A and B are shown apart, each in its own frame.
Chain A
Amino acid sequence: MSGTTTRAPGDLSSTTRDGVGASPRRPDGTLKVTGEFAYSSDMWMEDMLWGMTLRSPHPHARIRGIDITGALKLPGVHAVLTHEDVPGEKRYGLEYEDQPVLAFDKVRYKGEAVAIVAADHPETARRALERIEVDYEVLEPVSDSRRAAFDPECPLVHEDGTLPVHEEYNQHGNVVRHQPIRTGAFTGGEALEELRSRAAAVVSTEYEVGMQDQAFLGPESGMAVPAEDGGVDLYIATQWLHVDQRQIAPALGLPQDKVRLTLAGVGGAFGAREDLSMQIHACMLALHTGRPVKIVYNREESFYGHVHRHPAKMRFEHGAEADGTLLYATLEIVVDGGAYASATPAVVGVASSLGIGPYEVPNVKVDAYGVYTTNPPCGAMRGFGAVQACFGYESQMDKLAAELGMHPVDLRIKNAMKQGSRIITGQLMDTPLPMAEMLQRSKDMPLPPAREQLPDPSDLRTLPGGVANTTHGEGVVRGVGYGVGLKNLCFSEGFDDYSTARVRLELIGGEPVALVHTAAAEVGQGLVTVKGQIARTELGVERVTIHPSDTQVGSAGSSSASRQSYMTGGAVKTACEAVRARVFEIARERGLVSPGHPDAVLSLQGGKLVSETDGVLAPLADVLEGGAVEETREFHHRPTHMLDPTFGQGDSHTQFGMCVHRAVVDVDVELGLVKVVALDAVQDVGKVMHPQQLAGQIQGGSTQGLGLALMEEIQVKDSQIRNPSFTDYLIPTILDTPPMRIDVLEHADPNAPYGLRGAGEPPTLSSTPAIVAAVRDATGRALTHAPVRPEDIVGIEL
């Protein structure tokens, strides 16, 4: 991308090459670029069988019977299993154990797994599926999330007694979680009319965010291999090995240590691999047949095989004084969790606590609902509840600014949070938050040249519609928009999402080498590079080997919530510090350090033991002669707490991240087509660990937000997906992706290793509202639905 201005860190004085702050190459980079990297779908064993899944054709139906005899008779079929064959717990789930391993009694979404087959050829398995007869009694789908939330007559997706009980939050009917938040006048009851009467400007709007897909390129896949001890080894593309293990073992009726997981090559995740897909199924088939079983979903199946971003329906009202000072805000947000809970309760926790955004508002009333419907299940996706709210509150800021005749950036600065502010849950912003400065920097960035100043304004690639030749400039209007978002980083609400690292320092061929072993999932984000950088910086060695991630070491937590550099980075750093301390001890035992040198003046640099005062004391090789040094450490972030169920107060979040975007668009206002001309970001990351990978995260997050702004939506009608393919679920191409100027700030978070802040999610929040605001600026349309469709721009009702 042109104009990248990522700044290098200046405060870490590592003398070891490719340490923290440098941009070393990814260890898996060349393999991926040359097509030689083995993804999970590429695995192969000589005697393996192919697993395949029979899925429900109905979104809501009672199962009266399943007849597998026809499938079993087919030569080459080794197993046909249903819910009756689940050896242990029949349900699993990330937060609530409400999802059947294989459907029984009822199916609750179209595509729900009903039976599984193992055969010696995928085509045989497919034919076997056709011979399984399922007797369904079709039921009315529960498609409308607002009805599920508020209509007591709405049919239940989960009948009484089929749901686990969570007293405080899981109150009734189809509501998975309702989280209210009340501050200021709203804590005393009905205050809205009085606040309205005091406001100089009131804006009230309904917004919708469509169901976005993570659209990873590597479909769900893995291989289960039965072991001699009666257990199973699973090679799997996932985001969190240990949470998979925790759910798989009970379903198989096996102790945790008999279910061993190793991370296979992951082709993208973005939250979609947080839930199980084919894991238990492959293990069941492998244990049943005694053969390795491989399952690979195809693209259409993948759309049914993982959770999506919760679609949201939101009602916002904001009131402000004449000078722009926010007086009050109310929000009712309903997120559609689909058939099973997945991460819905946590998504509600984020959507509510960050529902009004990074603004000082004295009086706030929020009601956030996550509901069950018979729509496709929704769960984690980059941004996790904060994305939906951000589209709403940022749209409101623009509308309010217009109402008051203010520049949208000035209104935001007027109400900007800073260090010392409290978010609406009462939690103190106790780390730097230079929001006003970031907004000003965004406004002050140079604008891209006007169309007529381009070297060739008739170049179709610069125009909306591109080479499809729909305009030579006719109807094209430029617009500019801003967006800012606040994201919680790491897990929230009392969850101790610690990470574990084992670091070993030893001599190999006379040279000191560090081995870093964690269970953290490399899903493309580049943690594999960062772990090596940290080991180099902390241990002063150039050679670092990254052990494959598996369950032979303690949990690393999930590769989500922008948390792995913080948590697994923190664990690697802590383990390295323990190794280093042990090295100093050994050096003392061996007489290599004179008594006048406390640990504080010692360090490991360039393969040597160094004293601040006396320089090199000994080569590291001399210290390690007696054998390897190995330490395992857990790293925990500060404790967090659940929001209280009445007023929604509590210190629920670990860390906060912020990104500001300015989008410049050219819109063909007659055809409703958009070309994003520039999408510039200002982000505070605390500390740049790897400048190149950071730029990649910001570009990628911004582009995923662009997709949600302009094209990405799983269209669901009557609980059926209309576009389960990359032909019709459109994601941005390079011709849709503009140059991005990236301005990175480094205000350290003192709680975090190196002062870093998770960087992956914040850009995904702010880019969507910035782009939609720019399209509004160009068209004058209200545009309350993300993604904006051509119909919305030209004013055709849908």
Chain B
Amino acid sequence: MDFLRPSTLEEALAAKSAHPDAVPIMGGTDVMVELNFDKHRPGALIDLTRVPELAAWGPEGDGVRLGAGVPYTRIIAELGERAPALAQASRSVASPQIRNRGTVGGNLGGASPAGESHPVLLATDAVIELASVRGTRRVPAREFYLGLRRTARQDDELITAVLLPRPAGPQHFSKIGTRNAMVIAVANFSLALDAGTRTVGTGLGSVAPTPVRAEEAEEFLAGEFDWDGGAVLDEAVVRRFGELVSSVARPIDDQRGSADYRRHAVGVMARRALSWSVTDYRKSLQDPRGDARCA
């Protein structure tokens, strides 16, 4: 197996172009597990740890451009206000050691349906930046996940960044595991409200072959939500929202949980995230000095 060590993005893209079957490696928290268990034997590894721009984030427009190689620890410490749900999701990842190494880019590269980042990227309408020697393109997260561990990324492309829109309302992320830390998600859910466009974003993980949105639930809630007054929602509305979220789940029974439980759990998480969001939204209306968009 070749171990390629580019030190610039240009070299990295050239390496990926020359070795389309090569697996990029950053923190190694996913790739090394696959290698150690002998699940994959790629022809080459491309070590991206020396490519500086991958490990940096900065403003772009009124949002954030997050390098694909920024570890979860930094997202938690540095992006709590600019990307609250992603920071929340990052906090639920594995252990401190893994969070020091693991990255959103790795989560997207592996594209496990259980990955913590995906529901947030769907709910917040984030955009994935892909680059190759042919150029750079941007794909909305909502069009990125195509099938089980299959994404819109072409073989010669590297995931270079994620574009996170500025929060325009409450955001939340929740994850079910059968212990209180260090656990792969049995089910994930993320909710993001956009007060500017008066739209709702959702993302579900571990309940289908790919991360999915609950579009009907989004539209339903966008119509029912009191965008002007933030009024407490009828219990029936909250319940209906939970049902609509559950209805898009296509879960399986496996060693981590049953399909019925997963379907049930995303519904509960959706109802709770909605009630937290209403509380946040009302708070932001009552306290105009506070940043309404940063729940």
Contact = CB atoms under 8 A, between A and B. Distances in A.
B180 A464 contact: yes
Contacts of B182: 733
Of A466, A467, A468, A727, most B-chain CB atoms within 10 Å? A468
B258 interface: yes
Nearest to A721: B255
A124 to B, nearest CB: 14
Contacts of A465: 174-177, 180
* Chain A interface extent, by class: 35 or more
A673 B186 CA distance: 12
Interface stretch (A16-24, A74-82, A596-604, A786-794): A786-794
A796 B272 CA distance: 20
A257 to B, nearest CB: 41
Contacts of B264: 794, 796
A468 B261 contact: no
A474 B177 CA distance: 17
A471 B275 CA distance: 11
B135 to A, nearest CB: 38
A788 to B, nearest CB: 10
Contacts of B88: 469
B272 A672 contact: no
A190 B265 CA distance: 49
Contact of A470 (B37, B184, B257, B272): B272
Contacts of A722: 254-255
Of A466, A471, A710, most B-chain CB atoms within 10 Å? A466
Nearest to B181: A735
A548 interface: no
Contacts of B172: 469
Contacts of A671: 176, 265, 268-269
Contacts of B91: 467, 469
Interface in B43-99: 88, 91-92
A711 B178 contact: yes
A455 B268 CA distance: 27
Interface string A451-471: 000000000010011111111
Nearest to A126: B38
Interface in A642-673: 670-673
B260 interface: yes
A464 B258 CA distance: 19
A791 B257 contact: yes
Contact of A790 (B181, B184, B257, B272): B257
B178 to A, nearest CB: 5
B7 to A, nearest CB: 30
A277 B181 CA distance: 32
Contacts of A471: 272
A723 B184 CA distance: 13
Given A472-B276, A730-B183, A796 B255 contact: no
Contacts of A105: none
A796 B256 CA distance: 14
B173 interface: yes
Nearest to A713: B255
Contacts of B256: 728
A467 B181 contact: yes
A789 B181 contact: no
A150 B268 CA distance: 43
Interface in B262-294: 264-265, 268-269, 272, 275-276
A385 B254 CA distance: 29
Nearest to A789: B178
Given A467-B92, A469-B88, A790 B178 contact: yes
B134 interface: no
Nearest to B259: A796
A300 interface: yes
A715 interface: yes
Contacts of A733: 179-182
Contacts of B269: 470, 671
B255 A675 contact: no
A616 B201 CA distance: 85
A465 B92 CA distance: 10
Instruction: Provide the main secondary structure of the chain A interface.
Output: loop
Nearest to A676: B180
Contacts of A461: 180
Contacts of B275: 474
A734 B179 CA distance: 10
Contacts of B37: 300
A465 B173 CA distance: 12
A466 B258 contact: no
B92 A468 contact: yes
A434 interface: no
A711 B255 CA distance: 12
A670 B179 contact: no
Contact of B175 (A470, A736, A790): A470
Contacts of A468: 92, 174-177, 180, 183
Interface in A748-773: none
B92 A791 contact: no
Nearest to A675: B180
A43 to B, nearest CB: 21
B244 to A, nearest CB: 18
Nearest to A461: B180
A735 B180 CA distance: 6
A796 B258 CA distance: 9
Contacts of A727: 184
A796 B177 CA distance: 16
B75 to A, nearest CB: 14
A732 interface: yes
A798 interface: yes
A474 B176 contact: no
Nearest to B267: A670
Contacts of B181: 466-467, 733-736
Contacts of A675: 180
A722 B254 CA distance: 8
Interface in A605-664: none
Contacts of B261: 672, 790-791, 794, 796
Contacts of A467: 91-92, 181
A464 B256 CA distance: 17
B92 A469 contact: yes
A469 B180 contact: no
A789 to B, nearest CB: 7
Nearest to B180: A466
Contact of B180 (A736, A789, A790, A796): A736
A565 B173 CA distance: 50
B175 A798 contact: no
A663 to B, nearest CB: 15
A303 B156 CA distance: 39
Closest 9 CB pairs of A and B: A466-B180, A468-B175, A735-B181, A722-B255, A735-B180, A468-B92, A723-B255, A733-B181, A796-B260
24 contacts: A461-B180, A467-B91, A467-B181, A468-B174, A468-B176, A468-B180, A469-B88, A470-B174, A472-B272, A673-B180, A675-B180, A710-B178, A710-B179, A715-B255, A728-B184, A730-B183, A732-B179, A733-B181, A789-B178, A790-B178, A790-B186, A791-B258, A794-B264, A797-B260
